[in-house]
Amino acid sequence: MYFLGKTKKSLYWSVADRVVAVMDRRTAEFSTSKIPADLEDWGRQRLTVAACLDDESRIIVNKDNECGVLKFFARSQDGSEWAWEKKIQLWDVLPGCDRSYFFGHLGRVWLTAVDTTIIVVEFQSWAYRLDIETMEAEQVSKDATRDIAFPCELPWPPSFHACTDLV
């Protein structure tokens, strides 16, 4: 089993034999659905989940031998299967990127679903934030690809209280 990602509504796992397990965050109930047969050969690390403006989840696939091409799959109406929806060629939407950047050792593309419609496309030395609805892209720091596990801010300067009563 491999964790694919999360949306506001659900958590997603890839399970053996083309099955995606989905846990509804409100009810904690599980459901399953099948991914298309042509996806089963693809490395699991190349799948991620994002939500679009319609609040429906999409599985995003970046296949090794098709570097720089993202394929989007949406759930069917009954929720039992995922069907192909659209394809994005990253060299067409990322500013300053040539098709040749996606082949060879620079061809490793990592996807991180950040927000509704936003994914971060990370290469070896740069990263882009891509809105998958409008196709607007901007270059961002590599830190934009990292989740903060426990966001908090400690007070600064720290305040210390010492006991001055001697017993």
- Predicted pLDDT at 114: 60
Which domains, and CATH codes, for the chain? 2-145 (2.40.128)
Prediction pTM value: 0.70
Gap between the Cα atoms of 112 and 17, Å rounded: 24
- Predicted pLDDT at 44: 47
Q: Decide: residue 47, CB within 10 A, 0-12 exposed, 13-18 middle, 19+ buried.
A: buried
Gap between the Cα atoms of 141 and 150, Å rounded: 20
Listed in order, strand segments (DSSP E) in 44-97 are 47-51, 57-62, 69-75, 82-89
Identify the segments of the chain with pLDDT beneath 70: 38-45, 53-54, 64-66, 103-125, 142-152, 154, 166-167
- Predicted pLDDT at 144: 59
Q: Is 64 helix (H, G, I), strand (E, B) or coil?
A: helix
- Predicted pLDDT at 160: 73
- Predicted pLDDT at 85: 86
